Structure 1
């Protein structure tokens, strides 16, 4: 590395890390977006084996509204009785207390044979831009339901496996509000 290149590197470093100017902030934001879009997101896609390794929750369809499980179950068990899912079964599910709008889910690709009732999956629907994040309630065909929904939506009753991106393996609360906020400002949701 030449002296000139070293000076340029440290000048750029100082601008990005230490300066508190509008231009520095804008440059940082652009750099973060570029790194996320072209390095982080594809890298996580390779690690987790799918094209949607991270999804932000943009609706309240899985939100239990901070209700205690027993209270929530008393109000919603009839929807799960139809699928022969008991309170004990549901209590054993991953994220049995749902999750909230603004949370981010880490999604891992999984073979169809390893999917189970109660798994929270992410899948695409041909006529919807955003992926769906709901819980599997039945197989043959795959059926899902949003925990907070008062029943199934028509597209949830027969989901081909080739539309499934993977299942939720980890939840990071709140950081999805960046996307949700941007979408609300732009009028997308």
Structure 2
């Protein structure tokens, strides 16, 4: 194993500037392709974040910690009671995944207000909203859950819990791209 790594390092040292530049361009192409796919998904789903990871157990048994959720936000499709939405409270970084339990429509403004609750929580989310806020606006909703993949998001949770793991992963990925000759 160590001999293989040393052989790869020697091969990397023997590369000329043109080969190194080509490998770096390949790496940048991979990163830009991933960003384009993300932005394309955001455009198609009408959601600023078309994919999110469940970070807590508040939606069990529907979703477990680490599940990857696929979101969309149809323009003309109203949110209904029972929909599972991802919403972002102004001033807070982390979006919340909870179920809509009540709706309130203001007739004179046409705005829709929502009250949410985690399936595994005993009370509604008014304690999570900003001080004095009793409802969230439809504008706060990032998207509605349309599908999920169980436990795929655990990689993201591990990298957030252990930041060193993120740098090791990126370093190994970068080294792999540099030493790959195809």
TM-score range, shorter chain: 0.5 to 0.7
2:172 corresponds to 1:173: no
| Aligned pairs (5 A) from 1:146-185 | 146-153=118-125, 154=127, 155=129, 157-185=134-162
Whether the 8 Å CA contact 2:45–2:74 is kept in 1: the answer is no
Aligned residue number for residue 133 of structure 1:
97
Q: Which has the larger radius of gyration?
A: 2
Deviation of 1:127 after TM superposition, in Å, equals 2.7
What's the CA shift string for 1:28-59, capped at 9, x where partnerless? xx8765543x1221111011011010011111
Give the total of aligned pairs.
Answer: 130
What's the CA shift string for 1:100-142, capped at 9, x where partnerless? 1101111101347521111000110113211111000000131
C-alpha RMSD over aligned residues: 2.7
Aligned residue number for residue 124 of structure 1:
88
Aligned residue number for residue 107 of structure 2:
none
Deviation of 1:178 after TM superposition, in Å, equals 1.2
Q: Which runs of 5+ in 2 are unaligned?
A: 1-18, 105-112, 165-182
Whether the 8 Å CA contact 1:144–1:157 is kept in 2: the answer is no
TM-score, normalised relative to structure 2: 0.63
TM-score, normalised relative to structure 1: 0.61
Relative to structure 1, is the Cα distance of residues 159 and 182 closer, same or farther in structure 2, using a 3 angstrom cutoff?
A: same
SS in 2 for 1:121: strand
Q: Which runs of 5+ in 1 are unaligned?
A: 1-7, 17-26, 65-97
2:17 corresponds to 1:45: no
The answer to which structure has the higher strand fraction is 2
C-alpha distance in 2, partners of 1:108/1:62?
Answer: 19
SS in 2 for 1:180: helix
Whether the 8 Å CA contact 2:71–2:144 is kept in 1: the answer is yes
C-alpha distance in 2, partners of 1:151/1:112?
Answer: 30
